[in-house]
Each structure stands twice: as structure tokens, then as C-alpha cells.
Structure 1
Amino acid sequence: MSSSDLFALSAPQHGGPDAAGIPLFDFSTNSNACGPCPEALHAVRTADATRYPDPAYTALRESLGAFHGVAPGRIVLAASASEFIHRITALAAQQGAVQVAVPPHSYGDYAQAAQVRGLEVLRGGGTAAGLQWACEPSSPLGLEEPAVRAWQQGDADAAWRVLDCAYVPLRLDPEGAWTGAPSPRTPSACWQLWTPNKALGLTGVRAAYAIAPPDGEELALAITGLAPSWPVGAHGVALLQAWAQATVQQWLVYSLRTLSDWKARQLALCTDLGWAVHAGSLANYFCAQPATAMLPSDFAALRASGIKLRDATSFGLPGTVRLGVLAPAAQDALQAAWQALPGRTIPHRVSTGSGETL
């Protein structure tokens, strides 16, 4: 086995491009399929890459602080969400954490960052003697995280609670839909981790930021001190500066209407394919379970047809796939590719003439 094969086997599982290149129709990521946001893309393309950013990111932290209504001293820049996950886990371990609590189905980097530091991982959430993670809407199911309701109350143990806000701007449910500004529903008595590249359809730009809890500026300084110099480059700075602009937020809010329509169509398509859809997703992605478990050869055949799905086994959901919401043309390609797989048939549905099918 080659070294590249060994690396592929040991690397964490993620969606997106792989050794075969960029999928033609990529359902495996949760990036905003209406993107990229034109204004944010222009900002990235015109960023001055000939100079270092300000190592203190003074203007950027002021801009993000104003956007969230918090002091700039509470803003911590990160190379990516994954980088921050590892950094805050390292700091928690330095300060005595021995356990890390993660949701039952969650992003693998939470547990991986803990395991490489010898911390015990408690799956299923709960109270840990150390660091606690939550993500809302959750990934891969897109559900409300029960722990967040308790966090909204706030308490003295909030210093090592982290809410992953990656999908907050991509909520599609009427009650919690993004309005162009952070919602007061988001608990403040914990760390908040924000990664706008998904919402803006620019996941290739690696940049993120975190907001320390109230009275957490000393912790912000401590975690900043663990970072290398210039964790965010010029293109990441441009993306995050654009994120705080009203016109970019207007684009995002408008795109959510389109995503809602596309999601309804994609849910119906999965039902027509005979897949059991996990109910309740609030975001621009959901999980579904084909009637017959997919084999590695099925994933490979779909990939050869330009379709990539996210196997949810690594999330603790074997036999399930997570699908980001894509445009109708991509959905039709999925249907055709699925129908072409050996032994895969689409249930016959008879029209009643009233718009319903049987």
C-alpha cells in the first residue's frame, strides 16, 4: 500500500473533493449551493496577498465585534473551525480538563482533538469534567441541540462550553431563520465558533473566528497565545470582513429562500427514490436512509457518475447518507445515477390527478 493510500485511510472523513478531483454534483458538503456570494468572492479575489495582515487583526476584530455587539477583545481569529477545535481543546487540557463531551452524532474533529491529547470522550453530550461541545443545528441531522437550551440559562461552568455556529446562518425553519444578524437566541454564556465560508459558498477559503464568553477576555488572550503568527491570511481576512457587511448579509438572507424551495424538492425526490428521510432538519442538509444499504461499490459508481454523497457511518449512523441541498439539475442527476445502479429501482407511483401520488 502506498503512503498516499495510508494517508487517505488515516485522514478524518470529510465531504468535498477527494483523490478523484472535484465532484460534478457534490451533495457531500453543507456549503450554500446558491454561492459563492458575489461580493464576498470579489473581496477574496482582490485581497492584497503581497503583504502580511495586521498580526493583531485590529480592524477585523473591531468589525466582527460590532457585528455581534461584543467587545473586540472577545474575538479570537482562527485558521479554520478545525484549527480552533484543536487549539481550545489544548488550552482546556492545559487548564485541567480530563474529559470532553460531544453530541451523539457530531463533527469528528471534536473527538479527534480530545483523543490525540489523551482526554476521555463522552459521547451523547452531558456534563464533562472539562470541555463540552454542541452544534446547532446539529450535523449531520440538522436538529436542535438539547444542551443549548440549558446553556441559554448560563452558569459558572460556561468557560469550557463551545457552541459550533457553523450552520446557524443556514437555518431554513421560519422560527429560527437567519435574518442577517446573530439571533439573541444564541447563548452567550459559552464560546461561539463561527465559520462563514459555508454560508457564503466559499469553503475553500479557510478562516474562522470565535467569541469568548462575557468576562472571558483573559481566556481569549490565552487561546490567542497558543496560535502561530498570522493564523488567517489576506484572503481569509477579506472573507471575514465581507461577512460583516450588510449587503453580503442581504444576499445570504435572499439565498435562503431559494434553498428552502430546493430543499422541499430534494426531500420529495428522496421520498420518490424510496429513501427514508430523517425528519426535523432545520438546515440546508438532511439525512436519508436508502431502502437497501449502500455498498462501497454503490458510492464508487455514483462518484464515477459525478455524484458524491456523504456516508454518515462516521457520524454513528450506518446505512445513512447526509445530503446537502443542491439545485434541481443536481437533484435530477442524482435520480438518474441512482436509477442506473444495478438492482436499484424507484417505487412506482400512480398519479391521482390531484397532484398526489400513490
Structure 2
Amino acid sequence: MNATHGGPDAQGVARWDFSTNSNACGPCPSALAALQAADAGRYPDPAYTALRASLATFHAVDVERVVLAGSASEFIARFTAWVAREGGQRVWLPAMAYGDYAHAARAWGLQRVPDAAQADLAWLCEPSSPLGEPEPFAHSVAAKSPRVVLDLAYEPLRLSGRCSLGLEARESVWQLWSPNKALGLTGVRGAYAIAPAPAVSDARALDGLAPSWVLGAHGVAMLSAWVSPDAQAWLAHSRSQLSDWRVSLRERLADCGWIGLPSDANYFCAAPPRPLDDAALRAVGIKLRDTTSMGLPGHWRLGVLPPAAQDALHAALRQQEVAA
């Protein structure tokens, strides 16, 4: 798989990494403490009894609806494989989306179709990536396709607006949660899905396709901490800080002639006034996310970072303007 992602690259970790959507206020202290206390010398409970119960309580659903995953990407691959095994042949994807949806579809021979009514599987993501906006076809897709997965990776980092699908509408779709971004712990893998209420047998089938110990001790610790009152309180406070930082980042980019697009999340896309020398930025420790591979050429996605990072970006962009 030749994937394009944000975050570290062959040059290592960028000092000012705007390419990732991880919570820049993180890592969450209580979640980090849980990771540090995790017992890596033993296997977790293979049934994940306590973890499943805590996630079910947090979402107020029956525990049978909880499907654990090694990561969101692992769930995307496994769910697509299950749909293909069940005879699915067609998939609907948003025009701009995370590349793993399409990669999994290609791996299992699913054909992309323009109408969700023709699809055996449909993917939604809100806030969307790369835009951080509502999916304009969310309601019609949820009504048309027999299997819809709503990727909620960025819902905990929503800074404005609300999800297109309300709580009642979400009950009819699969909900995919991967809280490592919200907790500022993207190096720790772990995710879970909430199956629609009538799909308990499908949830069991997906569990049956998972490898043994799909989550290690650290994934269990992170997901257990995620649902704690301390982590949720910290997350709520971080959203307030991120909202302020988002305003200042937009102002700095506008000062350099960039045109920013709307977003409800802790990231947004923007277009520079002239082609960007991203290699020069990377050389001074700054990394942005080119959104061409996500269906949005000519734009860059920027995660919201603290003022010191924004100052470094502003100075580097000004320097490129002078050089031009």
C-alpha cells in the first residue's frame, strides 16, 4: 500500500507538524498515566470483558453492539472484507475522503458507484476529512445503502456545528470511534465500532473475523481511559483552547494571502496564493498535509497548533513571499 498520511515521515518528526489532526493540547494527562501504568508483561483479557462493558455504558448501548478494532484502519479493512464475504460488490465513497476506504474496496474488488442506492457498503465521515465539514449527502446515503459506516474520528474534536446525523439517525448506521486523535495519542492504536441495534449478529460475525488479542495492553488502557470523566473533562477544556488557536491560525494564513475553507473541526484546508515550496518548509521543521490525494488539489490541510508553531509557519511563509 502506497499510502499518504500526515505525521512523521522519512525525515522523522517535524518540529511544527501541521499535517496531523491530533489534539495539539495533548497528550491527555489521565490517558497518558493509564498507558504508563499498563501491564505490558501480560496478555489482556481475550474477551475484553471490562473494556466492552465500559464502552457500552459510555454510549448507553447493549454490550453486544460493541466491536473492538486494532485501529480505525484495521476496522475499515475488516468491515470491507466482511461485506465482500457476504456477497457485496459495490461501494459508495464521499468525493473527498480518507484513502483507506478506497484502498480496502480495491483490495476486495468492490466497485465504486456514484449512487448509494446501488452500493452494498457506504462510508461517511463527520466532521469530514480533509474539509472538516458535514457530509452533504449523509441523510440520503444513510437511507439508501443497506450498510453504512459513519467514521466519527473527529467528532470529539468538533469545535463548531453538529453532526448531520442526530442520535436517532445514528442508530441505523455503524459508528466508528478512534479516540487516539482526540486524546493526543496517535502513536497508540485502538478503536471500536457501535453496531446498529438490529445488527448484533453482524457484530458477532465481525468479532469472528478479528485476530486474537486485536488490542494490546496499551490499546486497552487508552480506550478505558477515554470514557473516564477525567479524560472527557480534559477534552472539553481542550476544545475551548483549540477554538482560540484556530482563529489565530486563520488570521496568520490570511495575512500571507491564503484562502481558508470553512471547517467545524480542529483542522481546515487552505489554498496558498502561489504554489507552495513544501520542501523548504520541511527543511525548517514545518510540515503541512497536501490534500491532492484526498481529492482536493491546490490546497493544504492544517491541524491547529499552538501560537509558537503558528509564529514559525507565518515567518516561513513570509520568507517564501520575499524569495518569490
After TM superposition, the score normalised by the length of structure 2 is: 0.95
Q: Which amino acid aligns with 1:74?
A: R
Tell me what 1:130 maps to.
120
* Higher RCO (Cα < 8 Å, 6 or more apart): 2
| 2:253 aligned residue | 270
Q: How does 1:83-232 map to 2 (within 5 A)?
A: 83-122=74-113, 126-150=116-140, 157-158=145-146, 160-173=147-160, 175-176=161-162, 184=167, 187-232=170-215
1:148, distance to aligned residue in structure 2 (A): 2.6
Taking the TM superposition and a 5 Å limit, the aligned residue runs for 1:226-241 are 226-241=209-224
Runs of 5+ unmatched residues, structure 1: 1-9, 346-358
- State the 1:342 CA deviation: 6.5
How has the CA–CA distance of structure 1 residues 130 and 183 changed in structure 2, closer, same or farther, with 3 Å as cutoff? closer
Q: What are the within-5 Å matches in structure 2 for residues 315-326 of structure 1?
A: 315-326=294-305
How far apart in 2 are the matches of 1:184 and 1:148?
13
Name 1:72's counterpart in structure 2. 63
Structure 2 distance, partners of 1:344, 1:211, is: 52
CA change 1:151–1:59 in 2 (3 A) is: farther
- Partner amino acid for 1:176? R
Once the two structures are TM-superposed, the CA of residue 146 in structure 1 deviates from its matched residue by: 2.3
Deviation at 1:300, TM superposition (A): 1.2
Residue 63 of structure 1 deviates from its aligned partner by 0.3
What SS does the corresponding residue of 1:192 show, helix, strand or coil? strand
Shift of 1:151: 6.1
1:110 positional shift: 0.2
Q: Describe the shift of the 1:183–1:197 C-alpha distance in structure 2 as closer, same or farther (beyond 3 A).
A: farther
Deviations 1:185-240 (A, max 9, x none): 66120100000000000000000001111121110110111111001100000000
Q: Do the aligned residues in 2 keep the contact of 1:13 with 1:314 (CA within 8 Å)?
A: yes
**Cα gap change, 1:128 to 1:80, in 2 (>3 Å):** farther
Moved over 6 A (4+): none
Q: CA RMSD in A?
A: 1.8
Matched, 1:42 2:21: no
- Between Structure 1 and Structure 2, the one with more helix by share is 2
Q: Distance in 2 between matches of 1:209 and 1:20?
A: 32
In structure 2, the residue corresponding to 1:16 is in which secondary structure? coil
Give the SS at the match of 1:281: coil
| Matched residue SS, 1:270 | helix
In the other structure, the counterpart of 2:52 is 61
Q: Aligned in 2, Cα 1:185/1:259: closer, same or farther, shift over 3 Å?
A: farther
1:291 and 2:270 are equivalent in the alignment: no
> In the superposition, relative to structure 1, how do residues 291 and 342 fare at CA in structure 2: closer, same or farther (>3 Å)?
closer
Q: Is the 1:37–1:200 Cα contact (8 Å) retained in structure 2?
A: yes
Amino acid in the other structure paired with 1:258: Q
Q: Distance in 2 between matches of 1:239 and 1:186?
A: 28
Q: Please say if residues 151 and 187 of structure 1, whose CA atoms lie closer than 8 Å, have aligned partners that are also in contact.
A: no
Amino acid paired to 1:255:
S
Q: Distance in 2 between matches of 1:82 and 1:13?
A: 13
The separation in 2 between residues aligned to 1:126 and 1:204, in whole angstroms, is 34
Cα distance in structure 1, aligned partners of 2:171 and 2:71: 21
TM-score, with structure 1 as normaliser: 0.86
Q: 2:149 aligns to what SS in structure 1?
A: strand
Q: CA contact under 8 A between 1:151 and 1:189: conserved in structure 2?
A: no
Residue 96 of structure 1 and its aligned partner are, at CA, apart by 1.3
Identity %: 55
Deviation at 1:129, TM superposition (A): 2.6
CA contact (8 A) 2:92 2:123 kept: yes
Q: Which amino acid in structure 2 is aligned with residue 291 of structure 1?
A: P
**Separation of aligned partners in 2, 1:150 and 1:263:** 31
Question: How many residues of Structure 1 are paired with residues of Structure 2 in the alignment?
Answer: 323
Q: Once the 2 structures are TM-superposed, how far is the Cα of residue 299 of structure 1 from its aligned partner? A: 1.3
Q: Distance in 2 between matches of 1:209 and 1:28?
A: 24
Q: How far, CA to CA, are the matches of 1:193 and 1:103 in structure 2?
A: 16
Distance 1:122 1:292 in 2: 35
